[in-house]
Amino acid sequence: MNGIGFAALALALVASPLSAQGFGSVPNEAEPVIVAEDEADGESKEIAGKAISAEEADKSVISAKNGAKVTVSNATLSKTGNTSNDGQSNFYGLNSAVVSSSKSTVSLSGVTITTDADGANAVFATGNGSKINAKNVRISTKQNSSRGLDATYGGEVNASDVFIDTKGAHCAAFATDRGEGTISVNGATASTAGEGSPVIYSTGNISVKNLTGRATGSEIACIEGKNSISIDTSNIEGAGPNGIMLYQSFSGDAGVGTSVLNVKNSTLKSSSNGAFFYITNTRAKINLSQSTLSFPSGVLIRSSGNNSERGWGARGANGGNLDLKAEKQSLTGDIICDEISTINLDFADGVVFTGAINADNGGAVTLTLSKNAQVRLTADSYIESISDADKKFKNIISNGYNLYYNKNAAENKALKGISYKLSGGGKLIGIAIERKQITIDETERAPQREHAPGEMPALIQLTGTVKISGNTVLFECDDGREFTLETAP
């Protein structure tokens, strides 16, 4: 094959990436043309006191595009008719009740929205500069993939005094999807009932305040990739496999990076038998302050790999890497870290932790303690290093258990590898711990599938530049990786 033909092949490969077992590929993800019963194209429009319905497949109730400004007040909006394309509904708002796109603004006040169809999100903002402001709005959705407030590709939704009820799979009350949208809520009541329908699902940036929420078939909240959720002065319940999950799915919806969760002045309750915080296949930061966490499992944190059956990274390279900081916070439950994961614990003033830390001596866990923080052990525990502002370790209550530290770690040099008595009869003991060196390369987290000789391997959003020099064809990825391309038989 000549150089030109080979380059064309490579570019086609980039344009149509595959992912392991089909992860990250949705048929026909091209941006659709949104049609609606009431449309505004680059104009200003007011809609007041009306009842508007859309019954056709792929047809919205209200659409604003090309810089339009639409005000809707005291209206009733209803949507039926299933979507013809799940990807376009999830990413661009096809078949949603209200859609704002291409730098338009929709303001909703005193509006009731009901949808009863697959892929019928209620409120959807998509694209940078597109915005929806919602105040005193009631939302009810039925069927799958029908979220309450949704934003994609830089879209923004601001809401206050909203009521949301969803019934269906993949129907979070507050959601962002591909392209990192933003949702800000102050004052809301939300309930979800369905698999994969947490109260909050973020592949962007979502902040909630004064929220009362409940998910009866899913987690309290989920964060995917380099995105965030902030929860303030709220009361939220969940019933999923875990309490809150921070992960990277490699579906293509979230960039690779650090998941950030901030919780303060809130009450979070999970009925799950899994961990309250589950971190897998991603870096994560959790900041906790003056909040109450309730869960029956006894496991506060699990940072670990997974079996990759859902495409969540390559097995053996899909651990969790967590930095947790807490202040003025009571924490109870075990902290579990497997050998391909890490946890950094920073307990500031006012923290009381009760539980076991890395009892199986799996991965590297570091512990930083303020003088006014306290650790109460419930089992022998293992840490890589310790930094305690109380040099006599009086803030560690052993209850007869030992806390083992790695005497070979440079961070523990001042401890001299010896043992120290702890309150309660146990000891802080230096031992030699040999751990597998973990070098975190985010690109290695991507799942791989086995392929037969001569078969093109799976790729996940691989983009870059083809360079041809003589008989050598080089593919330079945007993320810095390089591959030499060879023709397949």
Percent residues over pLDDT 90 in the chain: 74
End-to-end CA distance of the chain: 11
- Joined together, the tokens standing for residue 99 give 């859609």
User: What does the DSSP assignment read for 164-182?
Assistant: EEEESTT--SEEE-TTT-E
Q: What is the model's pTM?
A: 0.85
Cross-strand partners of 275: none
DSSP state letter for 456: P
DSSP state letter for 357: B
E strand segments, 168-232: 174-176, 182-193, 200-202, 205-215, 221-224, 228-232
Cross-strand partners of 76: 51, 112
- Joined together, the tokens standing for residue 97 give 């009740």
- Per-residue confidence at 15, pLDDT binned at 50, 70, 90? very low
Asked if the model's pLDDT at residue 58 lies above 60, the reply is yes
* Alpha-carbon gap, residue 160 to 197, rounded angstroms: 21
Q: Determine contact, residues 122/143, Cβ cutoff 8 Å.
A: no
- Per-residue confidence at 76, pLDDT binned at 50, 70, 90? very high
Listed residue (266, 331, 253) closest to 299, CA to CA: 331
pLDDT tens track for 161-202: 999 999 999 999 999 988 889 999 999 999 999 999 999 999
Count the alpha carbons within 13 Å of 71 in the hemisphere toward its beta carbon: 5
Non-local CB neighbours of 163 within 8 Å, separated by 6+ positions: 137, 138, 139, 188, 189, 190
* Residue 359 identity: A
pLDDT tens track for 326-342: 999 999 999 999 999 99
